[in-house]
């Protein structure tokens, strides 16, 4: 299974040391050139520590960049990279998109895609047994500490789902 990704899921999964677990969910991650530019090129310029983890996955071929062929989506509130990621899903016939932005998430659903937020990806790692409940809680707390926006209700909802899965 393949997925298209926007910037924030890659950045935040790297920040909480869960980026490599994407290999348990997908065979390949494809990003638009704009995402590569934002995450790797500009991240290196800013000296972001998570860039090396992301770059390693590009070097090994798990993540690859692709040029979206469509012109930029002209939708208000949607950043260029998010629009290009959605375009790539449609161009490549890939249903899964990793995206956190609220407007991009809603548009992806509207277009019949299957959007995954960073927080739901971490829950999926728990569901697959790749992380335990303690590591799930720690990852969610680390996400929040790293600047990822998650309401207390969403945090509790994720932990509630994990408790249900744990049975």
Q: What is the dihedral of CA 123, 103, 53, 30, to 10 degrees?
A: 100
CB 115 within 8 A of CB 97: yes
pLDDT of residue 160: 95
> Tell me: the pLDDT tens digits for 114-136?
999 999 999 999 999 999 999 99
Question: What phi, psi does 66 have (nearest 5°)?
Answer: -140, 145
Which residues, other chains included, contact 121 with Cβ-Cβ below 8 Å and sequence gap of 6+? 9, 13, 18, 22, 25, 98
166 falls in which pLDDT band (50, 70, 90)?
confident
**Is 80 exceeded by the pLDDT of residue 167?**
no
> Tell me: the pLDDT tens digits for 130-154?
999 999 999 999 999 999 999 999 9
Mean pLDDT of 8-21: 94
> Tell me: the pLDDT tens digits for 46-99?
999 999 999 999 999 999 999 878 655 555 567 888 888 998 998 999 999 999
Size (the chain), residues: 167
Domain boundaries 2-117, CATH class = alpha beta
pTM: 0.92
State the greatest distance between any 2 C-alpha atoms of the chain, in Å, as a whole number.
48
Q: Domain ranges for the chain, please list them.
A: 2-117, 120-166
> Tell me: the pLDDT tens digits for 28-43?
999 999 999 999 999 9
């Amino acid at each position: 299974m393949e997925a298209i990704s926007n910037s924030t899921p890659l950045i935040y999964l790297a920040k909480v040391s869960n980026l490599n677990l994407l290999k348990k969910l997908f065979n390949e991650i494809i990003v638009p050139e704009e995402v590569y530019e934002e995450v790797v090129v500009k991240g290196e310029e800013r000296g972001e520590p998570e860039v090396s983890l992301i770059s390693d996955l590009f070097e090994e071929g798990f993540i690859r960049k692709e040029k979206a062929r469509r012109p930029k989506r002209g939708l208000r509130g949607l950043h260029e990279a998010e629009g290009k990621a959605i375009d790539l899903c449609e161009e490549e016939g890939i249903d899964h998109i990793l995206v956190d932005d609220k407007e991009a998430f809603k548009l992806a659903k509207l277009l019949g895609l299957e959007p995954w937020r960073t927080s739901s990806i971490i829950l999926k790692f728990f569901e697959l047994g790749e992380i335990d409940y303690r590591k799930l809680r720690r990852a969610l707390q680390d996400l929040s500490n790293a600047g990822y926006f998650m309401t207390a209700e969403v945090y509790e909802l994720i932990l509630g789902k994990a408790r249900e899965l744990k049975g």
